[in-house]
Amino acid sequence: MMKSPNFPTQIISPIEDNDVEKWSIGLPKARFWDAMDITQWEGYWFGPGLLKPALTFRSSFQARDDDVILASTMKTGTTWLKSLSLCILKNHDDCKHDMLATENPHFHVPTIESALFSAKPLHFDIYDASGPRLLHTHLPYVVLPDSVKESDCKVVYLARNPKDTLISMWHFFNSFLRPDQKPFPLEKAVDCFCSGLHQYGPFSDHVAEYWLESQRRPDKILFVKYEEMKSDPKGQVSRIAEFLGRPFGEEGQVDDVLWRCSLERLKNLEVNKKGSILLNVPNTSFFRKGEVGDWKNYLTSEMEDRINQTIGLKLEVLGLIL
Ligand code: A3P
């Protein structure tokens, strides 16, 4: 993995746009599909506007032992994990107050580095450490603040099969195209994915770092697979609840949480059928099919082989099958 110069990690408050611009001049640049310019830092690619919040998070965030940080790379089921964790932590004893029916899950559980793209002011300050926080990040493990790594705060990482992740990403970015624009060629999207040239890529490094850390510190990082959530939702959601110190008391509770967070229900809630909680990203684009193996409807056997031989093999060597 190629390392880039480090921005100082001590608290620099506030980090100025000018400083970030000057510092990032020397970093590698590329174009992600035809959609955006990306910059490489610490071996990972970041879209426009993400470096400054990532640097601020790294240098200024003081984790509490009772914070919960959800982590995932793009299109791996983040919206689902946010919804489930919210219900586990906040709704457990108060099922009548259905937070998911009032706002999109990305409002309730902000993604730290994208908070400034929120279309609505956040309902809390992510840097206010006066109470426990439930937050999410797409940032790779290497970039997390020391206080997250060293405190007792819990991290739940969600991983997904790379082929389904890529197809989900392809649909996601295609959903923003103007009517006169053609979908980005899938073959090129596979190329970029296999070479790690996409937001928060390389995928294999992102997953591998969290995986290795979860093996080293299972009490600190829970590694969850999207496919296992689909095949054994009760088992996996109970596992998350136990890890977060909020085990379910009765059988009915886990069923209730699963129903509240089901794709069908979330997709059909008024709050998710319209509007954009993230600027220029329609809420509808977070909810598609949620099927395991949807990639079979799109990838040729050559494309499949290519992903297996690059990303799949890299993870298998670490004992991780996705
Ligand atoms: P597909 O595009 O394969 O349908 P993210 O939330 O990280 O952006 O990931 C989006 C993927 O998660 C999409 O996958 C989406 O349909 C799926 N998803 C969203 N909400 C879900 C839910 N409640 N249950 C299962 N899958 C969900």
Residue 127 belongs to a domain with what CATH number?
3.40.50.300
Distance 126 CA to ligand 1 centre (A): 24
Task: Write down the pLDDT at residue 35.
Answer: 83
Lookup: tokens for 269: 């809630």
> Is 138 within a domain?
yes
Task: Write down the pLDDT at residue 27.
Answer: 96
Q: Which of 86, 228, 259, 287 to mutate to test ligand 1, by most ligand atoms within 8 A of the CB atom? A: 287
Which residues carry out catalysis? 138
Q: Residues lining ligand 1, CB < 6 A?
A: 72, 74-80, 83, 164, 168, 171, 261-263, 266, 286-290, 294
Distance 168 CA to ligand 1 centre (A): 8
> Is 274 within a domain?
yes
Task: Write down the pLDDT at residue 1.
Answer: 42
Q: Which of 83, 139, 156, 263 to mutate to test ligand 1, by most ligand atoms within 8 A of the CB atom? A: 263
Task: Write down the pLDDT at residue 306.
Answer: 98
Q: Is the pLDDT of residue 204 over 90?
A: yes
Q: How many degrees, rounded to 5, is the angle at CA 36 between CA 167 and CA 205?
A: 55
Residue 245, number of CB atoms within 10 A of its CB: 11
CA-closest residue to ligand 1 atom 17: 290
Atom from ligand 1 closest to the CA of residue 76? 7
In the chain, the percentage of residues whose pLDDT exceeds 70 is 94
Residue in 172, 202, 201, 195 with CA at minimum distance from that of residue 184: 172
> Is 39 within a domain?
no
Max avg pLDDT among 2-11, 28-37, 122-131, 155-164: 155-164
Distance 210 CA to ligand 1 centre (A): 20
> Is 260 within a domain?
yes
CA-closest residue to ligand 1 atom 26: 290
Residue 51 DSSP SS3: helix
Q: Which of 76, 78, 109, 168 to mutate to test ligand 1, by most ligand atoms within 8 A of the CB atom? A: 168
Structural domain of 126: 48-162+203-288
> Is 7 within a domain?
no
Task: Identify whether the C-beta of residue 284 lies closer than 8 Å to the C-beta of residue 273.
Answer: yes
Task: Write down the pLDDT at residue 251.
Answer: 77
Q: How many domains does the chain have?
A: 1
- pTM to 2 decimals? 0.95
CA-closest residue to ligand 1 atom 8: 75
Q: Mean pLDDT across the stretch 296-306?
A: 98
Average confidence score pLDDT of the chain: 92
Task: Write down the pLDDT at residue 19.
Answer: 86
> Is 296 within a domain?
no
Q: How far apart are CA 211 and CA 201, in angstroms?
A: 15
Distance 96 CA to ligand 1 centre (A): 25
Max avg pLDDT among 21-35, 105-119, 211-225: 211-225
> Is 11 within a domain?
no
Atom from ligand 1 closest to the CA of residue 266? 23
Task: Write down the pLDDT at residue 96.
Answer: 57
Give me the residue label for tokens 């990482």: 157
Task: Write down the pLDDT at residue 279.
Answer: 86
Distance 269 CA to ligand 1 centre (A): 15
> Is 225 within a domain?
yes
Distance 165 CA to ligand 1 centre (A): 9
Each residue of 143-197: pLDDT tens digit?
Answer: 999 999 999 999 999 999 999 999 999 999 999 888 899 999 999 999 999 999 9
Q: How far apart are CA 78 and CA 19, in angstroms?
A: 31
Each residue of 55-109: pLDDT tens digit?
Answer: 999 999 999 999 999 999 999 999 999 999 999 998 655 555 789 999 999 999 9
Who's near 56: CB < 8 A, 6+ residues apart? 14, 15
Atom from ligand 1 closest to the CA of residue 290? 4
